[in-house]
Amino acid sequence: MRLGTRAGHPRLVRLLDCLVLDVPEHPSLDGAVVLVMERASGSLRDLIGAGVTRDEGGRLIEGICEGLAHLHRSGWVHADLKPENVLIGADGAVRLSDFGPATELAGTHGYALPMGTLDYLPPERWRAPLGELGVQVRPSADIWALGLMVHEVFGPGAPLFPGATPMARGAAVQEYAAGRAPADGRRGSGVLAGAGRRLSGPVARGARRAHGGGSAAADRRRAGGAPGSQVRAPSGVRPAAAAPGRASRGRRLRGGGRGPVVLGGRGGGGGPAGRVA
């Protein structure tokens, strides 16, 4: 919740309200913390399923890079980046979402609970030791997940690493990281080679903002673009609908909470890739 209130950015889903449910007749919900976020029309997973053109894919990846650059500059790691957690607004703008596992950095790394989506875990997370504070998480975890999403957007739909299950693909990831096996280059290498030319601009701009403090306005000035070309956050966003008689009876949450239950929105689930906690 601290991330939602302190790290606002057009590429992060907006936190509209926080409240605690007061429904004693429903013990499983009573006392739950509800985060009310802006409504999305779909997720990157939906677009991948429907098919994405090369130009549209480049625009989407650029938006993800902008969101990640802001998160990392603000001292946070998303820690569960995947297509389901990249929401698409009614205006087509990209919004990163689901900051439950997000980790605040203390220097080069932070600590998080041993959870995440198996298909998007970086190699080091599979054998990371669990200490008193959790497992170490670095911004490189988000960059690894970004690379996998680039493959999904521009590739033929098959996972980059072979395996019939997330655990099997995780084993292939570890073999690759150890230098004992390559990624499956047959899975769309030609498509990715062509997409690389389209992606070079968006990825370079995202990296420049992450490491050089650049901005979208500065990039438009370099490219000679007009100020009006900026993608704006949607206006008149409505809160996600809550079940009748539940969230409406909640009380506002002024401070932090433990174990938030996120209701509404899209893309917060584990999906077919599987999520482990």
Active site residues: 80
CA distance 171 to 163: 8
Question: Which letter does DSSP use for residue 41 in this model?
Answer: S
Look-up: residue for tokens 């002024």?
A: 254
Take residue 105 and report the two structure tokens written for it: 């950095």
What SS3 class is residue 124?
helix
Measured in whole angstroms, how far is the alpha carbon of residue 149 from the centre of its chain?
10
Beta strands in the chain (DSSP E): 15-20, 33-37, 42-43, 76-77, 86-88, 94-96, 103-104, 110-112, 116-117, 135-137, 251-252, 275-276
Quick one: which H or E segment has residue 194?
Answer: helix 189-212
Please provide residue 226's backbone torsions phi and psi, each rounded to the nearest 5 degrees.
Answer: -80, 150
Question: Which letter does DSSP use for residue 131 in this model?
Answer: B
Burial pattern 158-191, b for ≥16 Cβ within 10 A else e, equals ebbbbeeebeebbbbbbbbeeeeeebbeebbeee
Measured in whole angstroms, how far is the alpha carbon of residue 26 from the centre of its chain?
32
